[in-house]
Structure 1
Amino acid sequence: MKVGMVASHYPHAAHREEFIARVHQVAEVFRRTPGCLSADYWLSADGEAVISTVQWESEEASAASLAAVMAAPEVDLAFDERESRPREIVRLVSA
């Protein structure tokens, strides 16, 4: 069963470009992991949110992929003062 994740991030305007670069790096790591079907990122039309989407072939692939991202030294996953509010993460399963 395919699974997915949609994450909404809210960087302060002064950190938006840096945050987009950070999300780009995370997407690159996701794409290299076995079972990852897609990893992309978007800017909301109002420019307030950076939205990342990932889709995997299974829950096992998702777990392994997330572990790989957490262990990747080249990515910055920190939630800190660069973001204006907490991230919103929605997990998805195929219907």
Structure 2
Amino acid sequence: MTVGFVGLHYPRPEDFDDFVARVRQVAEVMRSTPGCLSADCWITTDGDDAVVSTAQWESDAAFAASFAAIVAAEVDVTFDERERRPRQIIKLASR
């Protein structure tokens, strides 16, 4: 079963570029883990200035390994005042 992930992030305008850099760093760490098929950073074009993170893995175990790698790499994934509203995190599974 393939596992997917979509994260919608809403950084404050003054933190937007830094936030994009943070998401790209997370994606880079994810892509380096075995079983990660893809990890990307997108920016909405509808004027909402949201950052969308997407990723896909071969399995739940590979999904878990990517997040363990992020913790081990001490990548900043903190939700704090740099985001103007709560993140939306969606985990997906193929059938």
TM-score normalised to the size of structure 2? 0.95
Runs (4+) of structure 1 moved beyond 4 Å? Answer: none
- The CA distance in 2 between the partners of 1:50 and 1:9, in whole Å, is 5
Counterpart of 1:25? Answer: 25
Question: Deviation at 1:47?
Answer: 4.6
Aligned residues: 94
Q: Secondary structure at the match of 1:37?
A: strand
- Gapped regions of structure 2 (runs ≥ 5): none
Higher percent of residues as strand: 2
Question: Deviation at 1:78?
Answer: 0.9
Counterpart of 2:83? Answer: 83
TM-score normalised to the size of structure 1? 0.95
- Gapped regions of structure 1 (runs ≥ 5): none
Please, what is the CA RMSD of the aligned residues?
0.9
